[in-house]
Structure 1
Amino acid sequence: MKKSTLIPPADELARRYPRADQAAGEEIWLDVIRKMDEVYHDLLQYEVALEEKNAALEESQRFIASVLASMSDILIVCDRTGTIESVNAALSALLGRSADTLVRRPLFDLFADEASRAKASRLFAEQRATPIQDCELLLKAANGSEIALSMNCTPRYDGVGKMLGFVITGRPVGELLRAYQALRRAHEDLQTAQRQLVHSEKMASLGRLVAGVAHELNNPISFVFGNAVVLKRYAERLTRYLDAVHRGSARPALEALREKLRIDRLLDDLPALIDGMLEGAERTRDIVDALKRFSAPGSGERTHFDLVEVIGRAIHWVGKGSGARLEVVRDLPARLLVEGNAGEIQQVVMNLVQNATDATAGAATPRLAISGRLDAGRAIVEFHDNGPGIQAEHLGRLFDPFFSTKPVGQGTGLGLAISYGIVERHGGELTAANHPRGGAVFRLVLPLASAPENP
């Protein structure tokens, strides 16, 4: 029978191999110490990470608390059964109750009447999974008064998508009405200021035309005055002749007086004198009417008008007002019928022509080329001058209010900005660029009127 081999006990091994046992024990203790160091290091890292997360969580809580405290709208957080879990300070101030008295109470106890409670119950029952927007309900304040509230309700979920309850926000309807009224007043004030700016710029343009208008009116008025003086002399001769007739003078004496006073020539000349006076008066009336149409504030009425005719009037008035020797070359269709306010579009064209006049003041032969065409239901008119052009850094700001490249006192910086707004309101476009052959080119685009008169 074979004898089995047994492992000697530890004390026997230590007696037989003292050095080996000692070395093995030291190795084990070193390994234990290393493991303890690793565990301690991991614990330190976990502790640092935990402290950082706690700090971030506290910061988030402070941030949320500050946001909730600063909210002017009310906030209610409730569970699925409608029990209130949290409220913000705005609700407490609105109802006159502390947050502690509101938490853990049914949400429906906050409503002032059975109709609001029934409506809220129905909405929450029907739309648990979808938000509720702008639902008007009545809340009950601590003093028993009713507060109309426009509320929104949104479901809230946990990390796995399970619905936990609802978040309700709202604002008293009175505040909404006041905010809407304030917004409407601000909008009306803005529109009024815009109309005043447009009218002020129009008056500034009209002021530059005063000298030209005076000269323009002087011609027909002088013509009417001269004819009136002649007509007065003719009236005196006719009066002398008629007095002689009424006195019963003899026929030879009447014939002599008729020849002396040149009554026949006077009678032949009267129709031409009267026609001339009528023509001068009509010309004066047309000038005054044109000025009234241009200077009157826009009524917003939109009519069909000929853009070619408006351009012609604008060139005429700017030329009379500035007195500059600007050569204007026109290449326009016979007619461009557009829809809008003719006075406002004339203001735009006058501003473009005036800018071209100012820009070409230093040129040897100031020149402005105006060309127009039809394109896909639009009227396109380009104003190309032979001035120095527009600096690259100014192109992006050219239509900004109060931006001007003219010296101080020679421009308000509103002309192009207002013109841009007018064209935009007409559904068109106004752009500026430098022409490849030199000078600046402004491009005016307006939609054509839907009428058969357009060529």
Structure 2
Amino acid sequence: MEQRDGNRYRNMFRSLVTRMILVSMVPLAGIGGANFLLFYQLNRSVVLEQHANFLRYHKESVESFLNSLVSEMISWTHQYSLEELKSGTLEKLYRINQGRGGLLEDLGVIDSRGDHVRYVGPYDLAKKNYRETEWFSRVVEDGLYVSDMFLGFRGVPHFIIAVKRPEGEDFWILRATVNTDYFVRVLDTARLGTTGETFIVNQRGLYQIPPRSGGTPLDFSGFPDLGPHEGITVKELKVEDRTFLCSSVWIPRPQWLLVFRQETSDVYAPLWKASFVGLLLFLAGGLGAAIFSVAAARDQVRRIHRADLEKESLTQRLLVAGRTAAVGEMSAGLAHEINNPLATIDTLQTWIRDLASASPIPEEDRQEILESAAKIGQQVARCKVITQGLLKFSRRVEAAQEAVDLRELLEEMAVISRARARVENIVLEQNLGELPPVWGSPAHLQQVFANLINNAMDASAGRPHAKVIIKAWAEGGQVLVSLEDNGCGIPQENLSRIFTPFFTTKPVGKGTGLGLAICHGLVQNMGGEIRVESMAGRGSRFTVVLPAFKRGSEAPGDQNRSQEGHPQGTG
């Protein structure tokens, strides 16, 4: 019993802790998950906008740099004639350029035949002819040309700006090579993250300005998204075993694709850091909830344990009071039942005394004495049966459960109750079949059936042809015991209240309203139930249903006890 109760409270403690943790953590997890999704979406939108703005800034820087050079060269072609440039002005412009940081690597003037008529710079390009080059054809056709990177006569990757200046029916071209190192510095003026890098490819996918992580000009970049598109696009691309967030935009002159890329692990590092902090806070909250749940559950289980002990004590007191009341209700019948044998014994002992006074005693008197002694023995045995049954009923107060022979217990109860039945002119019938044992407390079962039999007799007493029938049978793994009377019955409006503590239909002073409540709790504690059928004026039938007990199986009342606890103090 103690071990079973200990398991019950341990299971209750674990259940309370689990439920309290779930109640506290599930909403916290839901809120945390929702916040993470919202934060992720917000962070992603911010990152995408940041990439777009960063690339927009670079595009403006590149276009501003190139446009300023183009504008300056156009102004030179309008400000100076071919003869002036050939006679020393070109060197003067080159020195001014060098003084401003060397934006241009060299300067040259090419006539309409493609001859390099004047050159200032570090390479030996004077008197070179460019008539067959692509850039010469383009500048002749368009008047202004900014080239892709190419090797040219110098054999070094570079790109140029060329401006055509018509003079009458002839023309000449001012050509400048942009300082690639300076241009790279313009492109790399700002960085984002630890892996962010900017590079430029042309329409064929060749590097014009390679990324910092590797590559050289005119190498094939392998960048997959070279199709024309409007504005800035941002998408994730996988390069070998790394994933990048890439933003790209086309620069109209020249037709270059400006790309900014950053590894996604670097892009979302703030998100993962915030998520890690959030996870730590969630775990800390979970630990706090667990500690609080354990403390609260332990306190609650202790309170329940104390309440159970108090209810158990109250239940035991109510059971003793109920048994005392039942003994009291049977006492009148028992007294009458015992009084009859005592009267017979008294008569017989007087008769024996009279016969024994004669001396010598005749043989026939001796035979009468023996017969009288035998009758005295029968009456004594009768009294013994009644008193032993009463003693068994009054002494059994232990609640220990065991396998109970219900047929034998019902026969004992019938013997005790039959005395009252005779006094009140009630026919008490029994119909007990072969019954398997049930698992329960003999004292509690006696209490239940004594109360139900007494109630049946109370309802039948004083009515013509009063009858109480006790039937018992086995059915579908259950043992059913019905107690039927033809008494006053119970009104339909009261049937739902008969197991309510302190509810009674008996006259004041006759009943306490606790008997059926106690019976109901005791039967439930043994894994059974009590069914009621009644009709006012025609009688009632109370049926006690108990699980049959099979040897070696779990006691049917144990599981019910672990779920419902001890019987309620009032049943």
The normalised TM-score by structure 1 is 0.51
| Secondary structure, aligned partner of 1:298 | coil
CA contact (8 A) 2:355 2:361 kept: no
Question: Is 1:204 aligned to 2:325, yes or no?
Answer: yes
Query: 1:357 and 2:457 equivalent?
Result: yes
Are 1:320 and 2:419 an aligned pair? Answer: yes
Question: Which of 540, 548, 551 is 1:440 aligned to?
Answer: 540
Matched, 1:191 2:290: no
Structure 2 Cα separation of the partners of residues 278 and 348 of structure 1: 34
Summarize the Cα distance change of 1:278–1:326 in structure 2 as closer, same or farther, 3 Å threshold.
closer
- Stretch moving more, 299-308 or 374-383: 299-308
CA distance in 1, matches of 2:508, 2:536: 30
Q: Which residue of 2 is the match for residue 47 of structure 1?
A: none
What letter is aligned with 2:425? Answer: R
Counterpart of 1:222? 343
2:293, 2:449 → 1: CA distance?
A: 51
What is the aligned residue count?
280
Distance 1:302 1:266, change over 3 A: farther
**Amino acid paired to 2:454:** Q
Equivalent residues of 1:199, 1:297 under 8 A apart: no
* Equivalence map 1:28-427=2 (5 Å): 157=32, 159-160=35-36, 162=275, 163-165=279-281, 166-167=284-285, 168-169=288-289, 170=291, 183-232=304-353, 260-265=359-364, 267-269=366-368, 271-321=370-420, 323-333=423-433, 337-361=437-461, 363-427=463-527
- The question of whether the paired residues in 2 share the 8 Å contact of 1:389 and 1:439 is answered with yes
* Structure (1 or 2) with the larger CA radius of gyration: 2
Deviation of the 1:302 alpha carbon:
4.1
Q: Shift of the alpha carbon at 1:191?
A: 0.3
Give 1:177 shift.
7.3
In structure 1, what residue type is equivalent to 2:449? V
CA contact (8 A) 2:323 2:394 kept: yes
Secondary structure, aligned partner of 2:425: coil
CA contact (8 A) 2:429 2:468 kept: yes
SS in 2 for 1:411: coil
Q: 1:334–1:215: structure 2 CA closer, same or farther, 3 Å change rule?
A: farther
- Alignment partners' CA distance in 1, 2:515 and 2:481: 18
User: By how many angstroms is 1:290 displaced?
Assistant: 1.1
SS of 1:400's equivalent in the other structure is: coil
Cα RMSD of the aligned pairs, angstroms, is 3.9
Q: Would you say the 8 A contact 2:396–2:442 is kept in 1?
A: no
**Aligned-pair CA distance for 1:230:** 4.8
In structure 2, relative to structure 1, the CA distance for the partners of 1:231 and 1:177 (3 Å cut) is: farther
Contact residue 380 and residue 446 of structure 1 kept, 8 A: yes
Identity %: 27
Cα 1:220/1:337, change in 2 over 3 Å: farther
Q: Which runs of 5+ in 1 are unaligned?
A: 1-132, 135-151, 238-259
Query: Is the 2:334–2:419 Cα contact (8 Å) retained in structure 1?
Result: yes
Q: List alignment gaps of at least 5 residues for structure 2.
A: 1-16, 19-23, 38-274, 552-571
SS in 1 for 2:36: coil
Q: Counterpart amino acid of 1:410?
A: K
1:432–1:441 contact (8 Å) kept in structure 2: yes
**Larger mean Cα displacement after TM superposition, 184-193 or 172-181:** 172-181
Report the residue type matching 1:160 in the other structure.
F
2:98 aligns to what? Answer: none
What is the TM-score normalised by the length of structure 2? 0.42
Equivalent-residue separation in structure 2 for 1:228 and 1:364 (angstroms): 38
Distance in 1 of aligned mates of 2:350 and 2:538: 54
User: Matched residue of 1:348: which SS?
Assistant: helix
